[in-house]
Amino acid sequence: MQTHRQERILTDADRHKSGMGSVQRLHRWMTVVLIAVLLLAALLGGFTWHAFHSLAQGSSSRSASGTAASQQADSPLPVPDNTWALTVVSPDHKISSHFSAQLTDFDGIKIDQRVVPALKKMLADAAKAGYAIKPAEGYVDAQTQEQRYQKKIEELMQSGGKTRAVAESDAAAMVPPGGCSENQTGMAVIFPSDAQFLASDGYHWLLDHCVDYGFVRRYADEKEGKTGLKNDPSHFRYVGTYNAQTMRRLGLCLEEYVVYKVNQQVNS
């Protein structure tokens, strides 16, 4: 009996020890699982932070790039030197021998490089508005201009029966002789003169918005007595944005505006 009871006690002790071992193993497994969960959480947290940081940096870079592009697009056009931009050349004002155009090639024409930023932006904005406007001509040298003048004289004499003296006077009001045309300044831009373009929405956009880019329609019927040249709806001239907008507001041609500026300086 005593032996049987001892065996039973031992069996109970073994069972207790076995139970304790199972609890310990469970604790170890729980500890391992907890550590694994913590490590996984740490990894996921690090990945999430890295992804968020990269996204934030990308968003910041795109925002900065967008802001820079917007600022560039909205940046003001260069302000020209009036001693250059307001140069008057006409049959009554021959171009100075000291005048020198800084020529460059742009969109198929030669033009003063100081005009390019304004002309480029104007044509780009016209394209955004749905109008493909292309200049037909820019700078013309004195020799070519003189040849055009002489050709016009011959046309008027032959087709109009005019004397040479009358033909020369009339020709100068349409095609000024070499040295008397502002085409030599590199600031004049000639657009197509055909009836289709002049009646188009693109041309009317050009008329409406040209002053915002520093250009004015140079020769109009009502200003012939001041400019010395007949109406030419295709001829535009760069004078700078402030000057162009002021000329339109006051209703002045370039010859009148130059006098206006001089009077302002005298009265100030």
Q: What is the pTM of this model?
A: 0.73
Q: How far apart are CA 264 and CA 258, in angstroms?
A: 10
Cα dihedral value 190, 209, 108, 97, nearest 10: 50
Q: What is the pLDDT of residues 71-109, one digit of tens each?
A: 344 678 999 999 999 999 999 999 999 999 999 999 999
Q: How many CB atoms lie within 10 A of CB 237?
A: 24
Cα 193 to chain centroid distance, Å, stands at: 25
Annotated domain spans of the chain: 1-75, 82-140+181-267
With contact defined as beta carbons under 8 Å apart, do 166 and 93 qualify? no
Higher-pLDDT residue of 198 and 6 is 198
Q: With bands split at pLDDT 50, 70 and 90, how would you rate the model's confidence at 2?
A: very low
Cα 21 to chain centroid distance, Å, stands at: 81
For domain 82-140+181-267, give the fold: Muramoyl-pentapeptide Carboxypeptidase; domain 2 (3.30.1380)
List the alpha helices (DSSP H) in 75-220. Answer: 82-85, 116-128, 142-160, 164-172, 195-198, 201-209
Q: How far apart are CA 38 and CA 145, in angstroms?
A: 86
Encoded tokens for 135: 């200049």
